[in-house]
Structure 1
Amino acid sequence: MSGPILIWGAGAIGGTLGAAFIRAGHDVILVDNAADHVAAINERGLRIDGPIFQDTVKAKAFVPENLKGKFDRIFLCVKAHHTEAAAKALLPHVAENGYVVSAQNGLNETVISKVIGEHRVIGCFVNFGADYLAPGVVHYSGHGAVVVGELDGKKTKRIEQIYALMKEFEPKAILTENIWGYLWGKLIYGTLLFGTALTNDSIADVLANQRYRPILTKLALEVGAVANAKGVVPEAFDGFDPVAFAPTASTAETARSFDEMVIHNRRSTKSHSGIWRDLAIRKRKTEVDAQVGPVVEVGRSLGVPTPLAARVVELIHEIEAGTRQLDLVNLDLLADAEIGA
């Protein structure tokens, strides 16, 4: 593959990846819906702050309607609930033999496949810490798992190329034959993050809180049960071990995974999730309908009950609407939902 790498969505994930690719010597073009972000990048460059590296890189940036041309390599890095609209907008820019890498949260590969064709989609799992701070500024706060793989698990020339590219960003990047296992593993972990985002406490503090570990464990078990019903084997990453949240797991195994997740999150300067930031700082909708919502829907279709996941969706909606405050008491309400289920 040749030509520039197109990053569609130049916020936390896309901005961090794009800047790393530029620093590695690649030609990168950025696309973002935020006109002020695009203008700032074109005027001053894209600035990356944080403990991993600090730099300002030069790149061409466009709002979608001003982009021209077709591209072999496209990274889609928008919020999960914007995936379908973004996929439709980028479709005219996918080269004949080009592909889209879904560097997002959730099961967005299925959404993108419906728009551009499954053969043009590459699975991607990222768990590094990053936040959009201001127009032209992204904070890269901590290393995390980076995994790529073909949706059918095959080894292809293009996946080897993408893997080599991702290793330039994260030397510990993984090439997997089970990308769906990582995506479902992230859904289990991500649902826990939605649980922590019901509060104002940090990710590490909530996961370390012995009072709430039992209800968070049951929440994770629900998502794992849906994955199991689909025949997916979730993969471990960054201290999160799906085996520790299986029905057969011992109390010690579950406690160890919680402890390791706490250690991983305390290493990062990103104390709170992007979910919490959407709720508390940016005052905008989260990805709950595109991440936890599908778990509930798939569970319903497979006859797997998910009352806690459904209650998390309800509580997040209430916080988004301004009718509920961020507070640890919301986890007590989640526990009440479990009792009433």
Structure 2
Amino acid sequence: MEIAIAGAGAMGSRFGYMLQKAGNQVTFIDEWKEHIDKINRDGLLVETESSKEYCQIPAVFPTEAAGKFDLIILFTKAMQLEDMLQKINHLLYKDTAILCLANGLGNLEIIEKYSGDSAIYIGVTLWSSELEAAGHIRATGSGSIELQPINETSKERTLELLATLNLAGLNADLSEDVLLSIWKKAAFNSVLNTYCAILDCNVGEFGASPQAMILTEKVVAEFVQVAEKVGVPLTADSVLETVRNVFSPEESGHHYPSMHQDLAKGRKTEVDYLNGAVAKIGAKAGVNTPVNSLLTAIIHAQEDIKGL
């Protein structure tokens, strides 16, 4: 497949690396000049638990991207999604499939504004990655993908997409209710991203605290209440089980979530699309969300202190 990764940060770079290794032709589309220059000059440095290697993948700015891609995977931050779609709109053809695995609530509505006749697939992933520096990622642990076609134009295309992802070892499967999966992932991220950022720790360190599940349950309870109001059958047990499962080093215990990485590297976070999003939706639905509202305010205070 000819594949473009729109948003070649930590996760986009990991997916691009795995897809390229599986024999696909991958192009990175990003706006970080140092990152683009480093990848084009030296290749993407991928560090795993047992090795380091350079992977040669072309990287371009959105306005420089050209050609026709079979698949465009959107991996920007939620607050950058609309800007990216505006800049790569010239790449969206009827035969182009769009796959969005980005974090947060509300991404589909933005994509539908720009997708035209392109097929849309929405999903979630439990893969993790860390951007160590320009042109350098740390890819540890394993993961999976759940996805669902929103406007499936061809069953064959869906099967080809799944086969491509799975040949790259990305463990993809079809979801029967992707909206539920997105809410579940948003609740999961609103726990691990936010608490690890506030407490300055990785996933395993948070999980080792006797307070971890108490803090987790407070966030998840509000997500379940809001989800029920908007017709999403989210259960607390499903989220809590997923959170517990990633505490071990074999999963994502050594991982610093993206919100922690963003604050550490002086970047604004996605909190408004996680804890902040459920608080906003809850306010419209008449559900109080004091815990998620407070966590959102704390993260914004950290951003303010850092001048972000």
Q: Which residue pairs with 1:276 in the alignment?
A: 260
Aligned-residue offset at 1:296: 1.6
Aligned-residue offset at 1:203: 2.0
Residue 244 (1) aligns with residue 237 (2): yes
* Aligned mate of 1:87, from 85, 89, 96: 85
- Counterpart secondary structure, 2:305: coil
Residue 292 (1) aligns with residue 291 (2): no
Q: Which residue pairs with 1:160 in the alignment?
A: 159
Aligned AA (1:91): N
- Counterpart secondary structure, 1:78: coil
Q: Which residue pairs with 2:289 in the alignment?
A: 306
* Aligned mate of 1:72, from 70, 83, 86: 70
For residues 178 and 201 of structure 2, what CA distance do their matches in structure 1 show?
31
Residue 320 (1) aligns with residue 303 (2): yes
Q: Which residue pairs with 2:169 in the alignment?
A: 170
Equivalent residue pairs, number: 305
Residue 46 (1) aligns with residue 44 (2): yes
User: Where do 5+ consecutive residues of structure 2 fail to align?
Assistant: none
Q: Which residue pairs with 1:127 in the alignment?
A: 126
Q: Which residue pairs with 1:35 in the alignment?
A: 33
Give a deviation string over 1:31-52, Cα, whole Å, max 9, x none.
1101111111111111211127
Aligned AA (1:68): A
Between 1:132-141 and 1:310-319, the stretch displaced more is: 132-141
- Structure-2 change in CA distance of 1:191 and 1:269 (3 Å): closer
TM-score (structure 2 length as normaliser): 0.89
For residues 261 and 46 of structure 2, what CA distance do their matches in structure 1 show?
18
> Percent of aligned pairs with the same residue?
24
- Structure-2 change in CA distance of 1:289 and 1:117 (3 Å): farther
Q: Is 1:130–1:270's contact at 8 Å kept on the other side of the alignment?
A: no
Aligned-residue offset at 1:277: 1.4
Q: Is 1:72–1:95's contact at 8 Å kept on the other side of the alignment?
A: no
Aligned-residue offset at 1:259: 4.2
- Structure-2 change in CA distance of 1:131 and 1:323 (3 Å): closer
Q: Is 1:76–1:100's contact at 8 Å kept on the other side of the alignment?
A: yes
Aligned-residue offset at 1:151: 2.9
Aligned-residue offset at 1:267: 3.9
Q: Is 1:196–1:207's contact at 8 Å kept on the other side of the alignment?
A: no
Q: Which residue pairs with 2:146 in the alignment?
A: 147
Q: Which residue pairs with 1:200 in the alignment?
A: 200
Q: Which residue pairs with 1:329 in the alignment?
A: none
Aligned-residue offset at 1:82: 0.5
For residues 152 and 223 of structure 1, what CA distance do their matches in structure 2 show?
27
Give a deviation string over 1:75-114, Cα, whole Å, max 9, x none.
1111111111111111111122312111211132222112
For residues 84 and 120 of structure 1, what CA distance do their matches in structure 2 show?
17
Aligned AA (1:217): E
- Counterpart secondary structure, 1:321: helix
Q: Is 1:154–1:177's contact at 8 Å kept on the other side of the alignment?
A: no
Aligned-residue offset at 1:315: 0.4
Aligned-residue offset at 1:276: 0.9
Q: Is 1:7–1:30's contact at 8 Å kept on the other side of the alignment?
A: yes
Q: Which residue pairs with 1:17 in the alignment?
A: 15
Residue 229 (1) aligns with residue 213 (2): no
Give a deviation string over 1:151-181, Cα, whole Å, max 9, x none.
3799832222221121123353222121112
Aligned AA (2:13): G
- Structure-2 change in CA distance of 1:90 and 1:190 (3 Å): same
Aligned-residue offset at 1:20: 0.9
The two structures, once aligned, show a CA RMSD in angstroms of 2.5
- Structure-2 change in CA distance of 1:245 and 1:123 (3 Å): closer
Q: Is 1:47–1:55's contact at 8 Å kept on the other side of the alignment?
A: yes
Give a deviation string over 1:106-138, Cα, whole Å, max 9, x none.
132222112324863211211212011122211
TM-score (structure 1 length as normaliser): 0.81
For residues 117 and 272 of structure 2, what CA distance do their matches in structure 1 show?
23
For residues 190 and 33 of structure 2, what CA distance do their matches in structure 1 show?
31
For residues 122 and 42 of structure 1, what CA distance do their matches in structure 2 show?
29
Give a deviation string over 1:57-90, Cα, whole Å, max 9, x none.
2122111222223323101111111111111111
User: Radius of gyration: which is bigger?
Assistant: 1
For residues 98 and 6 of structure 2, what CA distance do their matches in structure 1 show?
10
For residues 262 and 30 of structure 1, what CA distance do their matches in structure 2 show?
31
